[in-house]
Amino acid sequence: MTRFASICRALFLISAVAATLSACNKGTGADGAAPAASGPANAASAPPVGVTTVTAVQRDLAVELTATGTVAPLSSVDMRPQLTSVVSKVHIREGQFVKAGELLFTLDSRTDEAKVAQAQAQVARDQAALADAQRQLTRSRELLAQNFISQGAVDANQATVDAQTALVASDRAALAAARVALGYARVTAPSAGRAGTINVYPGSAVQANTTTLVTITQLDPIAVAFSLPQRHLADALAALPGGGAPVSATLPEGASKLEGRLKFVDNLVDPASGTVKVKAVFDNPGGKLWPGAFVNVAMTARTLKGAVVVPQAAIIQSARGDIVYVVQDGKAQARPVQLVHAEGENAAVTGVQAGDKIVLDGRQNLRPGAAVVERSGDGAARPAGAASSAGKKASAP
């Protein structure tokens, strides 16, 4: 009896194993592998996904670059004397705006005035000697014509005249040099600008090419220096011959905004940062831009003509690249796109056409081929194909 029970138990286990294997074979293919479920088929059989859409539009999109710039004067000159002397008079005040050629300082010039007078006297003396030599030459030529003197005497007089003429020319050059030195006693502004701190006063001794009297800084026009990424170097260089790309500068407090033009691109790309230094020039009649100040700079590098623009938030980064979901016949279709340029909330892309309905909200719940139902701004469901108010706002240029 015990043996019979053991045999029955063994037969029961064999039957159970056979039933299990049969059930497994029904769920596998001929090669023993489970058949993969079709993604679009499952997506199509799933309930519709609520989404909001926007319409891709075609328009011109400006490629605008933003950076932090530093205000820099076009010229800033440290005024130094060109002779060692003493300041006689200061003709300007600190912070005064001066014109080109305006007198700034007068130095003690009595020594140079005496040198000019001495040079003038030397010129007068040598001119008198030259006049006498010329008379002697004329007389010797008359005597030579009458055969009273030899040709050698005439030649000697001619040499005296030539030497005296050269001496007078040398005296005049010395007089001009003395006048130049005398002119250094008057320190004038090389260009229009604003005077900074005055470092000397009447009676101050100054050293030639060493002592800084004052700094004259040009404020109008003025420049703003900033850096551009290397990828935009070609756009900046292309814009220079046409007057430069438009650039706007805004003070940090946002009180004022000035418009200028790109005027300079450096000849070297910084290998550490991958940027190139550039300068834009601004009219600054009110002195709103001050040297050394920081400003927010925006420059239009170029304009993408007829670009297809979609909201940047609608772009999904996948393992195979960027995609967007397009609603077509009530279903979501994945479209690979290539980002051309992103500007704020908008992005110019290729891979979709103007008028395509792009999924904005709800894209994270979609699969290719999934049925969709569009929602209005208040969350109410609407038939696929109706334009949502949220989509209209997002796609507005």
H-helix segments, the chain: 2-26, 39-45, 110-145, 151-183, 233-239, 389-395
**Mean pLDDT of the 22-50 span:** 52
| pLDDT range class, residue 66, cuts 50, 70, 90 | confident
Strands 294-311 and 346-350: antiparallel
| pLDDT range class, residue 13, cuts 50, 70, 90 | low
Looking at residue 7, its pLDDT comes to: 56
CATH 2.40.30.170-classified regions of the chain: 65-74+217-302
Category of 146 on φ-ψ map: left (φ > 0), alpha (ψ -120 to 50) or beta: alpha
Lowest mean pLDDT among 5-14, 115-124, 199-208, 383-392: 383-392
Backbone angles phi, psi at 90, to 5 degrees: -105, 125
**Mean pLDDT of the 158-183 span:** 95
Looking at residue 377, its pLDDT comes to: 42
Range picked from 42-46, 123-127, 256-260, 340-344 for highest mean pLDDT: 123-127
CATH 2.40.50.100-classified regions of the chain: 81-107+186-216
Percent of the chain with pLDDT over 90: 53
Average pLDDT, the chain: 83
| pLDDT range class, residue 383, cuts 50, 70, 90 | very low
**Mean pLDDT of the 167-180 span:** 96
Range picked from 131-140, 300-309, 353-362, 365-374 for highest mean pLDDT: 131-140
What are the CA-CA distances from residue 290 to residues 12, 106, 248, 260 (Å)? 97, 29, 15, 15
| pLDDT range class, residue 363, cuts 50, 70, 90 | confident
Strands 372-375 and 49-55: parallel
Looking at residue 212, its pLDDT comes to: 95
Helix/strand/coil for 180: helix
Looking at residue 370, its pLDDT comes to: 87
CATH number of 109-184: 1.10.287
Asked if the model's pLDDT at residue 187 lies above 60, the reply is: yes
Lowest mean pLDDT among 121-135, 204-218, 355-369: 355-369
Better-predicted residue by pLDDT, 67 or 386? 67
pTM over 0.75: no
CATH 2.40.420.20-classified regions of the chain: 44-61+306-395
| pLDDT range class, residue 389, cuts 50, 70, 90 | very low
Buried b / exposed e along 306-341 (16+ C-beta atoms within 10 A): ebbbbbbebbbeeeeebbbbbbeeebbbbbebebeb
Asked if the model's pLDDT at residue 37 lies above 50, the reply is: no
**Cα distance between residue 259 and residue 238, in whole Å:** 20
**Cα distance between residue 35 and residue 22, in whole Å:** 17
Q: Which of 237, 216, 224 is nearest to 282 (CA)?
A: 224
| pLDDT range class, residue 390, cuts 50, 70, 90 | very low
Could you tell me the CATH superfamily of domain 65-74+217-302?
Answer: Efflux pump adaptor protein, beta barrel domain (2.40.30.170)
Looking at residue 268, its pLDDT comes to: 93
Fold of 81-107+186-216: OB fold (Dihydrolipoamide Acetyltransferase, E2P) (2.40.50)
**Mean pLDDT of the 138-149 span:** 91
Fold of 44-61+306-395: 2.40.420
Q: Which of 309, 237, 307 is nearest to 269 (CA)?
A: 237
Looking at residue 31, its pLDDT comes to: 39
| pLDDT range class, residue 40, cuts 50, 70, 90 | low
Q: How many CA atoms lie within 13 A of 199 on its CB side?
A: 14
